[in-house]
Structure 1
Amino acid sequence: MRRIYMNLAIDSGNTYSKIGWFDENRLVRYVTGLRFDEMVAAVSKEPGEKIIFSSVSYSPDDFRSALQLNVPVLRLSNSTPMPIGVSYETPQTLGVDRLAAAAGANSLFPGSDLIVIDAGTCITYDLIDAEGVFQGGAIAPGLKMRLKAMHHFTKRLPLIEEPQEAGLIGKSTVKAMQSGAVNGMAREIEGMIGAYREQYEDARVLMCGGDVSFFESRLKLPIFAVPELVLIGLNRILQYNDV
């Protein structure tokens, strides 16, 4: 007999999707790296009473049609009511993944200034103040993007598809590129945290994203690594909207 959870949070990217199963605020389990058909099969096997669906590639109609379940589905968009305030000059351009991560961070540490770092295709730095208002942040190239850019904009540097662990002093061109991308990005992260803390000195730092494992042990500053932060935020948004 399949188990029906209260809430399902689905984050569907350009290539892969991830799903979180929740009982109220408790994340029971989550899976990542699913293709669309695999994601639909997983949801069909263990559906939720309510679903929040965030996707850059598929519409809710695509999802409902494939799922064939009569379950309320909330599609996350820039116009979805949020459990946090948003102080952003162009809210219509604000990535919903950034909003979801911010909502997740605020639900974990309400009443605190928060720096949320998402290390994915791009690396984003966002500030949520103690009043629960998303203030904005910064967007920079992510780890794989840096490696690909070095190949694309030069004639002789090779293409490195997957980042690897890198020592500080690279003894080959490939290792030197790895060092520049990995260690340079780690120093950037520390510098950005320091800059934010000049204004918000007690801010907690939360980090998520596919490349968080490269940096969790490399950073000298204490951080909370929360790989499932976006899913936690999606569940919080679903609860707030009470569909």
Structure 2
Amino acid sequence: MQSIAVDAGNTGTKYGIFEGNNLVKQGYFQGLENIPAEITNHTFEHAIVASVAADAADYSARLSVTGKTVVLSAQTALPVLNNYKTPQTLGADRIAAAVGAHYFFPEQNCLVFDAGTAITHEFVTSNGSYEGGGIAPGLRMKLKALHTFTQRLPLIDQIPDNFTLTGQTTQESILSGVLVGTIAELNGLIQLYSKKAPDLTVILCGGDAGFFESKLKGRIFVIPELVLIGLHRILIHNV
């Protein structure tokens, strides 16, 4: 029988349907009123729901589950040691990404970048200890902030494939500041964490992972489904 993991984020909701340990289907929707029929018309064995925006209970109430439904919270048992000082404030997607990283690379120090609305990074040690990380504005958030909080800077809402280091127009200068600056930011973090853990494994997920994949230094693993797989590992740990 199938299980489901639901990740309600800031801009929309991702879901993954699992058979055993295998992710067999995934999708995306916006708003409770747009939950796909393949979810509402299906009965699952187990479910896990995580939310950084809406009340997770609103989603779990719409699922038909014969077994256990886990609503991820600070009290949920985890397959990693959580050393975050305020677990009640820790985003569900952040801890799920950390769990997913430790699942794929169980004996390695991992640095995870989730590049979406925000860009978060998480550090997990080789012995399965989640040590925390950081939160910064994502690419589109930075572009929107420059437009919103100034009088004359234009809004750039598309991330181009080509941009220059030295901008010679206002638009080029914004793209250099945001895109080149953020790439340097992530490469700097990789360098700093590599000093802390020389055998570091770097993992990328999130909607902008493809943008950063070829622009970061060293060997990078891109796992788009990392958060969903991490949620599923938490589910398995609790059933």
**TM-score, length-scaled by structure 1:** 0.90
SS in 2 for 1:198: helix
2:189 aligned with 1:187, yes or no?
Answer: no
SS in 2 for 1:27: strand
Give the counterpart of 1:213 among 205, 210, 213. 210
CA distance in 1, matches of 2:43, 2:185: 41
Deviation at 1:155, TM superposition (A): 1.9
The answer for unaligned runs of 5 or more in structure 2 is none
- 1:63 to 1:125, Cα distance in 2 relative to 1, 3 A: closer
2:95 aligned with 1:84, yes or no?
Answer: no
Count residues in correspondence. Answer: 238
SS in 2 for 1:191: helix
2:116 aligned with 1:114, yes or no?
Answer: no
Give runs of aligned pairs for residues 143-182 of structure 1, distance below 5 A.
143-168=139-164, 169-182=166-179
SS in 1 for 2:196: coil
Which one-letter code corresponds to 2:226 in the other structure? L
SS in 1 for 2:5: strand
Give runs of aligned pairs for residues 133-144 of structure 1, distance below 5 A.
133-144=129-140
Deviation at 1:165, TM superposition (A): 2.6
CA distance in 1, matches of 2:55, 2:143: 32
Residue of structure 2 equivalent to 1:241: 238
Q: Contact 1:40/1:66 (CA < 8 Å) preserved in 2? A: no
Deviation at 1:70, TM superposition (A): 5.1
Q: Contact 2:14/2:28 (CA < 8 Å) preserved in 1? A: yes
Which one-letter code corresponds to 1:130 in the other structure? S
Which one-letter code corresponds to 2:212 in the other structure? F
Residue of structure 2 equivalent to 1:21: 17
Give the counterpart of 1:230 among 216, 221, 227. 227
Deviation digits for residues 8-39 of structure 1, max 9, x if unmatched? 11101233111111122221121124443333
2:122 aligned with 1:126, yes or no?
Answer: yes
Q: Contact 2:29/2:36 (CA < 8 Å) preserved in 1? A: no
% same residue: 42
Q: Contact 2:121/2:133 (CA < 8 Å) preserved in 1? A: yes
Which one-letter code corresponds to 2:204 in the other structure? M
- 1:170 to 1:87, Cα distance in 2 relative to 1, 3 A: same
The answer for unaligned runs of 5 or more in structure 1 is none
Residue of structure 2 equivalent to 1:203: 200
Deviation digits for residues 172-192 of structure 1, max 9, x if unmatched? 322321222112111111110
Residue of structure 2 equivalent to 1:66: 62
**TM-score, length-scaled by structure 2:** 0.91
Deviation at 1:61, TM superposition (A): 4.0
SS in 2 for 1:11: strand
Deviation at 1:151, TM superposition (A): 1.7
Which one-letter code corresponds to 1:16 in the other structure? G
CA distance in 2, matches of 1:162, 1:31: 23
